[in-house]
Amino acid sequence: MKRIIAMFIIVSALSVIILSVLFVTSCGGGGGLSGTYYNDEFGYEMSYKFSGGKVTENLYNLPMSGTYKIDGDKITIKTTLLGISSEDTYTFEKVSDKVIIIDGIEYTKK
């Protein structure tokens, strides 16, 4: 009987751990952003489209797809363009559901 209880506790603990990991990864690594945020104050449109843990970055009319992770006041974006991968970390602030700031530039959700 003690073995059955011990196995139940172990299986329950592993289930909680697995569900926690799935929850965090499904939220973009803790980011939880969704939708497209725009900025055009520099004479050209820049945008970030977030969906789950994925991001499409459109800067200087070069769309790049990848993943993102938010950790406190930092956002790390991993992208690939023409087979070249990059990983960049920027300052990040979520002002509201409609406004974010990445590396000092304000983006508005439309």
In the chain, the number of structural domains is 1
| CATH code, domain with 73 | 2.40.128
Predicted TM-score (pTM) of the model is 0.68
Can you give the pLDDT at residue 10? 65
Can you give the pLDDT at residue 12? 56
| Beta carbons of 18 and 11 less than 8 angstroms apart | no
The residues of the chain scoring below 70 in pLDDT are 2, 5-31
Rounded CA gap, 15 and 95, in Å? 35
Which helix or strand (DSSP H or E) is residue 50 part of?
Answer: strand 46-51
Domain assignment of residue 95, given as a range: 2-109
